[in-house]
A and B are shown apart, each in its own frame.
Chain A
């Protein structure tokens, strides 16, 4: 076992013991044992404008064992703590699935009316996963710090030498393959680097094409993929690259509300895991594409804001929309018609979630599609999308009802993507921050 691993274990054991000691002291004093932790709810999730990320708010949750509504959760939290503790002691690396099985057993008792009742400590993994998240906020650690593993998803290649466990790995010598980002990215040590930026590609297929093309070598990039929705390890890894290597991070995702959202998860964090943002989010990450304006240019948008009312409304969402730099499309009219896909109602609803109804109302012309959107109370969009750039992007989306996958850019020619689109966007600063 590597030294770094042993140190991590010892730290984690201390944290668990410390927290449980507090509890046993309450019990010894004859008090009701109470766990106090930040409230992990939507209402207590706030967007920190200064740090540009989603964080847990100041609300605390008290979980008392003697509160009948909390007793089971209390028991589950302690049960999970004990399983994790044992795993740390025994030098194991459980996955969240392992923890689910290890803790799942029946509590059998005689109820007051004499019936024999059997109840599971937890039934579905959803429950035990939620308990793990509670423990993370209670102990203010990430589960990776407790040496809990999850499936490896993210990959990386580039001119970067790292140490993982007792091995030194050169990420430029991975052949056609790539280094899988380990679930405990904090145990990775960066040894040597020769790169100018980090490019995160949402799609694994595009990552592989760029890798085989030799993109990272040619442009001195560290190439990362999250293979879809980024997992925690990939986000933490990207964050460490950004923080420790001081390199800019560019995100390349699909040109649709899902792609935009994936970017925002990298940048600001997610609502369900907002307690991790401080360690997982990379606020400096930039969206280089694919942008709606890369497909359509800005003529559609200009036409819309020529109207006074529309301009005024959009100006209320984000001031400065008239000062945006003009933008020419990368695609010709015929390419456009070949590559774009028509947006579905679900895409529209996702987009509304990002920027709110106002933008949709002003920019959408298709009344039929508009009527299909389910209206939910209080959807005003996320603050980090209330910028002139994003308003323009989403306005074009609402107006054209079109989306585009990165693969389409690659099919225009890998050369176009690797040698023109990406380098040109980076060098000209054509990104959204």
Chain B
């Protein structure tokens, strides 16, 4: 080989991720702790609420070594469990999903947990431990695994099972990583807190190495509607996806492939598309050349009579849950939520949901309301400045018009759920500016803000009425005293005075439309101060 030749070598996906762990969020010991907890918690939630089970999730973080910064992180859920035969691959082999259906979920392709296992292996050398059982199984299964990085294969170190003595199902995953807990702590707590806000139907507990227990108890029994797996919408298609589809499915003809793989394509539509691509409907899909595939993609995408993508694959939180979550978190004096109707961009269905809290323990928004962003129920904690949602809240809504004078205790929660949330950049922490989405976000916030305005103007009216009543009521004792001086003698003074106070209190309550109690309260406070 000459000096100009490069050495090329195939790397396994596991090796790839091992080397490029920053991409997956394991850049440093602080991020690593946070990312590990996130991956495990999100898997736990996907195993529960996506399947209609009210989540019970417990996170335990323990110091695992006396001298080194090793932490054992254990996450337990009450989810559907993992079939024992799948467990080794699920945790020990980096895979690309072979599924061609769409459903809203938190994790993507289950990549994250493998990164956690790899990271643990790299920093502490300790294996992942998994305990799991499905609802219909009679046994509980136990595994201790590591990943053979070069071969991208799981290595089972220990495995076993025992009979269930109680009706338990779910998964317990435990990893030991090196990390900087002290600096990661506030970030982790914020993540758990923000996650809990949209999961008022979950019990979430966190046990820290300092033995603190952070617990968010369930406050509602309503669950979000679980997402239904649906076929992809043709408008969301790309060449990569179509090639993979052709390669991995054994359809006899192009027509069948189109009808069976996508939503909204029937026989007539399939024919029209194939003809437009200049192909034969009966062609065997795996015989297509790259040029023909490209022509097919263009034909599929340029067809413009599809029905909009089905929102059944989405699992919005719903107004009731958002309201319950905001109430639990902020005890606001006013709260409202708006779940917009489904919409779509480029073949991907999405729903925007907005929650709005005002007053109580709601944090103060300085130049704009505090914004809590969520994508598929996952909180977005970083890159706020570049987020389209924040831009809308700040620049497109005139909060003055909704009677909000900033700074004010006001918070806007925006949840975007989609089979494909349009993120900005690889960090997946901010939402990209897609016109269809921006419009929905704006309309959702405006609708919620109208609710707030109604509340505030009613409140102001009531406050004014109360203020008016107060400004009359405070004089009742003086008026009663004066009248009694003129019209009563020493013996009848107190009786007349009390009678006048009683009557005036009633009249003032009636005329101002304010409760008798309020007026009595003011009158009593005047008397108390005067020592009557």
Binding site for B on A (CB under 8 A): 16-17, 20-21, 23-24, 27-28, 30-33, 65-66, 68, 71-72, 74-75, 78-79, 81-82, 85-86, 107-112, 116-117, 119, 121
Contacts and interface: CB of A to CB of B under 8 A. Distances in A.
B507, B522, B526, B530: residue with the most chain A Cβ atoms closer than 10 Å: B507
Contacts of A65: 472, 475, 479, 504, 507-508
B340 to A, nearest CB: 37
Contacts of A33: 479, 504, 507
Contact of B466 (A82, A86, A112): A112
Contacts of B482: 75, 78-79, 81-82
Interface stretch (B67-75, B83-91, B483-491): B483-491
Given A65-B472, A68-B472, A107-B526, A112 B487 contact: no
Contact of A81 (B466, B474, B486, B500): B486
A66 to B, nearest CB: 4
A112 B518 contact: yes
B474 A112 contact: no
A78 B486 CA distance: 9
B333 to A, nearest CB: 14
Contact of B500 (A24, A86, A119): A24
Contacts of B160: none
B183 interface: no
Contacts of B487: 17, 20-21, 24
A79 B476 CA distance: 11
Interface in B312-354: none
Which are the 4 A-B pairs with shortest beta-carbon distances?
A108-B529, A82-B482, A75-B475, A110-B525
A142 B466 CA distance: 39
Given A28-B503, A66-B507, A66-B508, 10 more contacts: A20-B487, A21-B487, A24-B483, A30-B507, A65-B472, A75-B479, A107-B474, A108-B525, A112-B467, A112-B522
Contacts of A31: 507
A32 B507 contact: yes
A82 B482 CA distance: 5
A78 B480 CA distance: 9
B504 A82 contact: no
A317 B424 CA distance: 85
A108 B529 CA distance: 6
B56 to A, nearest CB: 42
B278 interface: no
B470 A112 contact: yes
Nearest to B506: A30
12 contacts: A20-B486, A27-B483, A27-B503, A32-B511, A68-B472, A68-B512, A74-B475, A78-B482, A108-B529, A108-B530, A109-B525, A121-B478
A33 B472 CA distance: 12
Contacts, number: 97
B471 interface: yes
Contacts of B485: 82, 85-86
A107 B478 contact: yes
Interface size class of chain B, counting residues whose CB lies under 8 Å from the partner chain: 20 to 34
Contact of A79 (B466, B478, B508): B478
B521 interface: yes
B481 interface: yes
Contacts of B526: 107-109
A311 B317 CA distance: 91
Interface in B496-527: 500, 503-504, 506-508, 511-512, 518, 521-522, 525-526
A111 B479 CA distance: 18
Given A68-B468, A110-B525, A74 B508 contact: no
Nearest to B468: A68
B526 to A, nearest CB: 4
Nearest to B527: A109
B475 A107 contact: yes
A78 B503 contact: no
A116 B525 CA distance: 9
Given A74-B479, A108-B526, A108-B529, A27 B507 contact: yes
A82 to B, nearest CB: 4
Nearest to A71: B472
Nearest to B478: A75
A23 B477 CA distance: 15
A182 to B, nearest CB: 27
A75 to B, nearest CB: 4
Contacts of A107: 474-475, 477-478, 526, 530
B519 to A, nearest CB: 10
A30 B503 contact: yes
A27 B530 CA distance: 24
Contacts of A111: 470, 522
A32 B511 CA distance: 8
Contacts of B518: 112
Nearest to B523: A109
A71 B471 contact: yes
Given A107-B475, A109-B474, A109-B526, A66 B486 contact: no
A116 B478 CA distance: 18
A109 B527 CA distance: 8
Given A27-B503, A86-B485, A72 B470 contact: no
Given A27-B504, A78-B482, A82-B485, A110 B522 contact: yes
Contacts of A82: 481-483, 485-486
B529 A109 contact: yes
A121 B475 CA distance: 9
A384 B314 CA distance: 89
Contacts of B486: 16-17, 20, 81-82, 85
Contacts of A20: 483, 486-487
A66 B506 CA distance: 11
A389 to B, nearest CB: 50
Contacts of A86: 485
Given A66-B511, A107-B526, A109-B529, A119 B483 contact: no
